[in-house]
Amino acid sequence: MPDAALDSAVEFAVKRVMEHADFAGKFKHPVKFNGTDFVEQRLSSEQQLAEVTRSACRQMHVFLERYGGMLGAEETSAPWMDKAYIALVGWMKPDLRQLAPDSVHPQKR
């Protein structure tokens, strides 16, 4: 899949997520320490769009964990999900190896 088509599909998925009724409750605004307390820094709609798009492009597994339930069948069956699946498996692989019983691991000689 060409990068332009991938970018377009990701942009479409991000747009669908941000239009979802549950988006405002799921989006986590950044928290900064002001010297005495942690203060939530509210982002504008444009900043939220940039943050969610960055998450979808750089950390697809995080994007899908947070917002995957807001995507419809059209978005989850799109070819860009193949790249998302590869990223997710690569991210989970070390954890899966740790969970496997000893009998599954090859014997070292």
Query: What pLDDT digit, counting tens, does each position of 56-86 carry?
Result: 888 887 888 898 888 877 766 666 566 655 5
How far the first Cα of the chain sits from its last, in Å, is 43
Under the banding of pLDDT at 50, 70 and 90, the label for residue 90 is low
Q: In whole angstroms, what is the distance from residue 107 CA to residue 67 CA?
A: 40
The percentage of the chain sitting over the pLDDT mark of 70, rounded to a whole number, equals: 61
Query: What pLDDT digit, counting tens, does each position of 2-21 carry?
Result: 466 567 778 888 999 999 99
Closest CA to 57 of 9, 105, 91: 9
pLDDT of 2 reads 47
Q: What is the model's pTM?
A: 0.62
Sign of CA dihedral 78, 80, 82, 85: negative
Closest CA to 43 of 19, 24, 69: 24
Tell me the three state secondary structure of residue 56. helix
